[in-house]
């Protein structure tokens, strides 16, 4: 059975903590806990100029953009705990779903989990999506198991997960062939073909004009010679 908002509030100190190690600012939204954007993010590059490493967000640079057709890794600001008697489920807030942001990393958190959560996301919307450090973007629900998870079936962590794993970033490096990128490449190819077509037309027009001028010149020359011959005779 899913936990109610009242139960979450009673157990909040055992389930979540912010960067300062307490529950200040942690919000219970109906029957879920709101999760905010942390200080690390990785976005797949949409062009050669984009950095291919994770970004560190701070007060001077709290915002970032996920371009349409690109993937990203988002780290939560909160450290989460899932008891071995429960299972948790995660999802984005509706406002980001409506914009086309898709969670591709999974929808549950295992019993025994301890640490910050990493969301793998894809922007399938028609526009770029702006997110900001410290702003709520996701929700987590808790549900009871019918019995306590055994050590074999629970997550085991010596230390909580506190950063984006380099292996996860390495798995996402490389060019993303999104529909938007393919459309852009097709549009660029069309422009190149139109430019090439214009150059070909201009070149052949010059040749045709030169040939026509030469023929016209010879024709006029014959008429001029005949005209002067008639005058002399």
Residue with tokens 């948790």: 88
Structure tokens at 155: 């997550």
**Residue 152 has what pLDDT?**
80
* Residue % of the chain over a pLDDT of 70: 83
Residue 112's nearest CA partner among 131, 88, 96 is 88
- Domains of the chain, by residue range, sit at 5-175, 177-232
Q: Which CATH architecture has domain 5-175?
A: Distorted Sandwich (2.70)
- Residue 224 pLDDT > 60: no
Beta-bridge partners for 35: 138
Query: What is the pLDDT at residue 217?
Result: 66
Contact (Cβ atoms closer than 8 angstroms) between residue 76 and residue 133: no
Residue 200 has pLDDT above 70, yes or no: yes
Statement: residue 23 has pLDDT above 70: yes
Q: Which of 15-29, 68-82, 119-133, 147-161 has the lowest mean pLDDT?
A: 147-161
Q: Taking the model in full, what pTM does it have?
A: 0.74
pLDDT at 221 over 90: no
């Amino acid at each position: 059975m899913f936990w109610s908002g009242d139960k979450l509030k009673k157990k909040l100190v055992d389930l979540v903590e912010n960067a300062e190690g307490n529950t200040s600012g942690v919000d219970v939204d109906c029957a879920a806990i709101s999760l905010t954007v942390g200080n690390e993010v990785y976005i797949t590059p949409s062009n050669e100029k984009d950095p291919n490493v994770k970004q560190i967000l701070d007060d001077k640079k709290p915002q970032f953009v996920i371009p349409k057709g690109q993937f990203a890794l988002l780290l939560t600001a909160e450290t989460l705990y899932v008891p071995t008697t429960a299972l948790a489920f995660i999802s984005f807030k509706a406002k980001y779903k409506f914009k086309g942001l898709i969670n591709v990393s999974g929808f549950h958190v295992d019993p025994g989990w301890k640490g910050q959560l990493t969301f793998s996301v894809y922007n399938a919307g028609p526009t770029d999506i702006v997110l900001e450090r410290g702003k709520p973007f996701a929700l987590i629900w808790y549900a009871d198991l019918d019995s306590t998870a055994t050590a074999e079936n629970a997550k085991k962590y010596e230390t909580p997960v506190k950063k984006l794993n380099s292996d996860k970033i390495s798995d996402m490096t490389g060019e993303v062939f999104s529909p938007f990128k393919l459309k852009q490449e097709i549009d660029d190819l069309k422009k190149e073909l139109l430019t090439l077509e214009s150059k070909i037309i201009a070149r052949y027009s010059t040749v045709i004009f030169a040939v026509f001028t030469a023929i016209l010149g010879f024709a006029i020359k014959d008429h001029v010679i005949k005209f002067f011959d008639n005058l002399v005779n």
